[in-house]
Amino acid sequence: MAANILFSACRPGPALGGLLFRLGQEERLVTCALAIEEAARNLEKKRPQWFPRLALFIPTIQRVPLGECPDDISLPANDGMLLGAAIAAGCAIFLTGDCGDFGHLYGRVIVGVRVLPPSEFNP
């Protein structure tokens, strides 16, 4: 799960945050320290009032190490490592709202991981 998903999940209200919290009780949600740190940094900078909600999600998310992105996939370095983490962890879905960097991968399966925007995620 990308940092922007964690950021958006902290928005007050039941939408994405409620969904992720429920999923975290039933399914294995994973991300890496890099995504958590980026989400925390962006929350403190852009939406400090949402920051306390991040602590609600952390216990429901398994942290995995960064991974390597396949050579034939064009992504900025950090984004590639996030997708690589999902691949290495054996995830079925990599959820990201970053259409600028990941939009060309939406709907594709990369080494067993389907890349999806939140609008197409249907648990």
Tens digit of each residue's pLDDT, the chain (123 residues) = 899 989 988 888 757 676 776 776 677 889 999 999 999 999 999 999 999 989 988 888 899 999 999 999 999 999 999 999 999 999 999 999 999 999 999 999 999 999 999 889 887
Task: Read off the pTM.
Answer: 0.89
- Show the CA angle centred on residue 7, arms to residues 74 and 73, nearest 5°: 10
CA angle 35, 38, 41 (to 5 degrees): 150
Which amino acid is located at 10 in the chain?
C
**17 SS3 class:** helix
